[in-house]
A and B are shown apart, each in its own frame.
Chain A
Amino acid sequence: MVRWGLVIDLDKCTACQACVVACRVENNVPIGGEEEVRKERAIFWNQFFSEIHGEYPNVRLHMFPRPCMHCEDPPCVPVCPVDATYKDKDGRVLVRYDKCIGCRYCMVACPYGARYFNWFTPEYGEGHGNHLNPDVVRDGEGWIVGPSPRPRGVVEKCTLCVQRIERAKEEGTPLGSEHEGGVVSACAQTCPAFAISFGDLEDPSSDVYRLSKDKRAFRLLEDLGTRPQVYYLSEG
C-alpha cells in the first residue's frame, strides 16, 4: 500500500513562498484578482500563513505553508452528498470536478480551510493563461481529478500533484524525495531550502517515513483526530 505525504521542515523554511507559486503554475490555479483577494475568495491550494506569538519584546513570527493535509480520517469526504470527493487508494483526497454540485459542505467540514471554491469562471493572467498545464488525470471511473482548468461553481484543492505521480508510475520513474531526481510534488521540487519532502509514508526507506518519526514532527490540529498525512518539523 502507498500513502503519499509531505514533511515540511520549518527550521529549513525561509518563508520565500516559492512553493505557493509553483503550486499555482503546476495546477492551473486561477487568478482571482485584487478585489477577490480582499473578499477572501482567492484560491491557494498551498496557502502561506504567518502568525505572531507572544508580546513585545518576547515576540516570535511563525510562518508555514499549508497544503491539503490529505487526512487519514478526512472530515470532508463523508459529507459529500454526491461522492465527488474521495480518499483514493494511494491515500490522497481528490475531487471529481465534473461530479461536484458546488454545495461547499466539504469546505464547511474541513478545519484546515484547505478547500477552495470557484466563485467565478476561472481566469488566468496572459502569461499564465498561455502556459496552462495540459495534463488531465482521470479516476478509475473516468471522472477528471487532474489539473485541467476547473469549471465555475465547483470545489478544488491540493491533489499532491496527482498528475506528476501518475505519470511517473506509468513511466517507471522513481518517486519520492529520497531518490536523486525522484518525482515529487511541485512544492517539494521548487523549495530552494529543501524544506519540503514528498514520499510514501508507508515505505520505511523513504525520507518522509523517517522524518515523520522525528522528535520534532507534529501535525496541525492533531487533537481533532483527522490524522493528517502532512507533517511539520517544529522550529528549534
Chain B
Amino acid sequence: MESNTTGVSSALRPLAETTWRFRILVVLLFAVIGWALYAYSVQLSVGLGSTGMNAPAYWGVYIVNFVYLIGLSAGGVIVASLAYVFNLKEYKPIARIAELLAIMCLIMAMIFVTLDVGRPERLVNIVLFGNPWSPLVWDFIVIMIYLAICLVYGYLGTRSDIVAAMKAIPKRARLYRMLALWYTDVSPEARKKDERTLRIIAMAALPMAIALHSVTAWILGLMKAQPGWHTALLAPLFVASAIISGLALVVVATVASRRFLHVQIPDALISRLGRFLVWLIPIDFYFAFAEIITIQYGREPAQFSTLQDVVLGPLAWSFWTEMIVGLLIPFLLIVRAKDRTPRRVGLAALLIFVGVFFKRIDIVIPSLIFRWLPFPPGGYTPTWVELSLMAGVYAFGVLFFVTFAKLFPLVPLEREHEPEAAEEAPHAEALLAEG
C-alpha cells in the first residue's frame, strides 16, 4: 500500500504542478483563440465572401483541415485499438495519448465543418431532414458513433486513474468525481468489467476507424464531376495516410509530452513506433505511384489534366513538399535501426505529420480547380480570415490536449510499478486499485 502511494504521486506530479512556461503557453493559446473568434465574427457578418473560396474552389482550407484531422483521428484510434485488441502491452502506455488525440482531432474536424458552411445555424437540418443518400450524412453518422466510442473508451480507460487522482489531489476531488461520472468503484470486479468492455469497444473501434476514414474519402471519391477524386483508390489511400499521419501525431505528442510534461515513456517504445513509421512510408509511396502510373499511362484527359496540375501546376510545391519533406526525408532519418533515437523519431514523425497536410491540399484543391466547361482558369488563395481561424482551431486543439494532460496522467498508472499488470495478473491490478 505504502509503495503504491509514492508511485502514484510521482506519476501524478505533472498534474499538480504548473510551471510558468505552461502558464505562458496557455495565455498564448487563449490569445490565438481570441483572435480567431474575432475572425469568425468577421466571417459571420460579411459571409463566406471573406474567405478565399470561389468558383471552382468551392472548398478551401477548412475542408482540407477537416479531411486531414479526420485522418489523424482515425490513425490514433487504430494504434490505440491494436494495443488493446492484440493485448500488445508495450503499446499500452501510448494508448491513452492516442485516444485523447483522436477525440481532440474529431472535435477539431467538426469545428472546421461548422466554419465551412454558409448557414451554420441551419446545421440542425442534417438531423431534421437528413438525406440518406448523401455521403455527408453518412459521415455525420459515422463521426457521431465514432465520437461516442472514443468517449466511452477514453472514460473507461482512465476511470480508475481518475479515482486515483481524486485520492491523491484532494483539492480537486469534486472535479475528479464529476469526471469519473460519480462512478468511483475501483474494486477488482468493477475494474475487470471495465477491462472487458474496453476490449469489446476496442474491437468495434478498429473497423469504425476504417469506416470513418473511408466514408470521408467517399465524400470526395464518389463525385464523378471531380476527376481527381473519382477513383476507387481514394478510400484505401485515405486509410493508409490516416494510419501513418495518426501514428506520426501520436509520436509527436508522446515525444513532446516526455520533453515538456515529463511523462515517463521508455525510449524503446518510441524507437519501436519509429520502426512502424518506416514500414508505413513505402505504402504511401506505393499508393501515390499506383495512382500516377495509371493516369499517366491512360492519359484520360480530365484525370490527366488534374494530375498535371498536382505535379506541375501552381500547387506543385505542395505535392513535392509532401513527397520529399513528408516522406523521403523522414524515411532516410529513421530507416536504420540505430538512428531511431527519440529525438530523431520525433523529428521524422513531425515531418510526416506536417507532410500529410500538404497531401490533403493536393487531393482537395487541384481537383476542384479542374473544370469540364471552358470557364476562365480558377485559383485559390486563403485569406487572413481562414488562416486565423485555422490557427485558432489548432490552438484550441493544443489547449484541449494540455488541459487533459493536467487533469489525467497521460500514461496509465499501473505501468509505473506493475509492468505485468494486464490480463495475466489481475491480482496486481486489484492490489493497485485498492492502493
Q: Tell me if A112 is interfacial: C-beta within 8 Å of chain B.
A: yes
CA distance in complex: A227, B258 (Å): 60
Q: Tell me if A60 is interfacial: C-beta within 8 Å of chain B.
A: no
- Tell me the A175-231 residues at the B interface (CB within 8 Å): 220-221, 224-225
Which chain A residue shows the least CB distance to B135? A79
- Tell me the A71-121 residues at the B interface (CB within 8 Å): 75, 78-84, 99-105, 107-113, 116-121
Which chain A residue shows the least CB distance to B368? A108
| Contact flag A81-B137 (CB < 8 Å), given A40-B378, A100-B119 | yes
Contact A153 B58 (CB under 8 A): no
Contact A120 B118 (CB under 8 A): no
Give chain B nearest CB distance to A72 CB in angstroms: 15
Contact A102 B48 (CB under 8 A): yes
Name the 4 nearest CB pairs between A and B, nearest first: A102-B118, A153-B118, A119-B49, A111-B225
Contact of B117 among A49, A101, A221 (CB under 8 A): A101
CA distance in complex: A105, B216 (Å): 13
List 15 A–B pairs whose Cβ atoms lie within 8 Å, in order of A's numbering: A39-B54, A41-B54, A41-B55, A51-B374, A81-B136, A82-B131, A84-B129, A110-B225, A111-B372, A112-B373, A118-B47, A119-B49, A153-B117, A221-B373, A225-B224
Q: Tell me if B126 is interfacial: C-beta within 8 Å of chain A.
A: yes
Residues of B contacting A83 with CB < 8 Å? 129-131
Q: Tell me if A66 is interfacial: C-beta within 8 Å of chain B.
A: yes
Which chain B residue shows the least CB distance to A153? B118
Contact A107 B58 (CB under 8 A): yes
Give chain B nearest CB distance to A37 CB in angstroms: 10
Give chain A nearest CB distance to B276 CB in angstroms: 35
Q: How large is the interface on B (under 10, 10 to 19, 20 to 34, 35 or more residues)?
A: 35 or more
CA distance in complex: A205, B204 (Å): 60
Contact of A120 among B49, B373, B376 (CB under 8 A): B49
Give chain A nearest CB distance to B32 CB in angstroms: 26
Contact B372 A81 (CB under 8 A): no
Contact B130 A103 (CB under 8 A): no
Q: Tell me if A139 is interfacial: C-beta within 8 Å of chain B.
A: no
Contact B118 A152 (CB under 8 A): yes
Q: What is the predominant secondary structure among interface residues of chain B facing chain A?
A: loop
Which chain A residue shows the least CB distance to B122? A101
Contact of A78 among B116, B122, B130, B131 (CB under 8 A): B131
CA distance in complex: A51, B56 (Å): 18
Give chain B nearest CB distance to A184 CB in angstroms: 24
Contact A108 B226 (CB under 8 A): yes
CA distance in complex: A100, B131 (Å): 12
Query: Beyond the given A83-B131, A109-B225, A117-B58, could you list 6 further A-B residue pairs with CB under 8 A, ordered by the A residue number?
Result: A81-B134, A82-B122, A113-B56, A113-B373, A154-B118, A154-B119
Contact A113 B136 (CB under 8 A): no
| Contact flag A113-B371 (CB < 8 Å), given A40-B55, A107-B55 | yes
Contact with A along B365-382 (1 / 0, CB 8 A): 000100111111010000
Contact B118 A99 (CB under 8 A): no
Contact A102 B49 (CB under 8 A): no
CA distance in complex: A18, B49 (Å): 28
Give chain A nearest CB distance to B113 CB in angstroms: 8
Give chain A nearest CB distance to B125 CB in angstroms: 4
- Tell me the B383-431 residues at the A interface (CB within 8 Å): none
CA distance in complex: A41, B60 (Å): 14
Which chain A residue shows the least CB distance to B367? A108
Give chain B nearest CB distance to A119 CB in angstroms: 4
